Amino acid sequence: MVLRVFWNVGAGLVHRALNKSAIKPGMAVRYPAVWKARPGFMDCDINLHLNNASYLFNMELARWHFSASTGILYHALKNRRTFLAGSQVIRYRHAIPPFRPYEIRSQIVFADDTWIYFLQQFQCPTTGKLYAEGLCRVTVREGKKVIPASVMLEEVESERIELPTEMPDVVKEFLDWDTASKVSMETIDQRAKRELAAPSKNPSTLFKAAGVGEKTQETTTTSSGKQPAPRGFFANLTRSMNLPF
């Protein structure tokens, strides 16, 4: 994954060096930033189409390419800034078979003093067919200081670029989901900390703190009340078949 990030950063730098005079001001604001690709076998699953997780990774690669081709990455490295993704959602519409060309069109649909909202669409480059659509919320930090999108654009653009000031409905609905998800995660975390802070002789407390019910605990114990022992070397070996790369 790291190698692919470096590859796309390099491609963005080369694209900027060869087309700097032809790149119009306002990329990803006035018009979408386009990233082109084809799914390889490493990107596909057993159904022979682009894996669901690959969509999110390719969205990130498209943002890296955009930051390199516009010069934003240069200023980020110069000032020791970091790009942080807060949350993202995606909606799948049509599958993308292996080696079929597609492109990701990334555009900033809204930005405030803290967050930048990228709407990223997977499209067919010839027909315009929409394969999927994702929304990602990112922030840029210089130490503990937040760098707004307007500041970054002023550093790389030859003219003033006006960012969208009206929040679109897709961002409003996204924030509603994000808020509900945050509350749910904090509630679970607080419940687990509370259970662990009050230890009990009953081992079921540990299961409750981890979010596992008592019924699940009962199914993993023997009639004598003891946990079943592992069934040999291969039982432990096959707990995970993930490769170390």
Dihedral pair phi/psi, residue 164, rounded to 5° = -60, 130
CA separation for the pair 48, 180 (Å, rounded): 34
C-alpha distances in angstroms, 228 versus 208, 212, 233, 236?
20, 18, 15, 13
pLDDT by residue (tens digit) across 165-176?
899 999 999 999
Say what the pTM is.
0.76
User: Do residues 119 and 135 touch, judged by C-beta distance below 8 A?
Assistant: yes
H/E segment holding residue 86: strand 82-92
Half-sphere exposure of 6 (CA within 13 A, CB side): 3
User: Are 98 and 108 within 8 A, CB to CB?
Assistant: no
Residue 16 lies in a domain: no
CATH number reported for the structural domain that contains residue 91 in this entry: 3.10.129.10
pLDDT in the model for residue 157: 86
Asked whether residue 240 carries a pLDDT value surpassing 60, the answer given is: no
Instruction: With CA atoms as reference, report the closest residue to 132 among 158, 159, 151, 105.
Output: 105
196 in any annotated domain = no
- Is 172 domain-assigned? yes
The reply to whether 231 falls in a domain is no
pLDDT band at 238 (very low <50, low <70, confident <90, very high): low
Whether 117 maps to a domain, the answer reads yes
- 171 domain residue, yes or no: yes
Distance CA 209, CA 195 (A): 5
Least Cα distance to 68 among 13, 118, 1 occurs for 13
Instruction: State how many domains the chain has.
Output: 1
Q: What CA–CA distance (Å, rounded) separates 165 from 73?
A: 24
pLDDT digits (tens, 9 = 90+) for 106-141: 999 999 999 999 999 999 999 999 999 999 999 999
- What residues make up the domain containing 113? 24-51+72-177
Residue 142 lies in a domain: yes
Domain membership of residue 206 (yes or no) is: no
| Distance between first and last Cα of the chain | 10
How much of the chain, in percent, has pLDDT values that exceed 90? 63
Q: What is the DSSP string of 167-227?
A: PPHHHHHHHHHHHHHHHHHHHHHHHHHHHHHS--SSTHHHHHHTT--HHHHHHTS-TTSPP
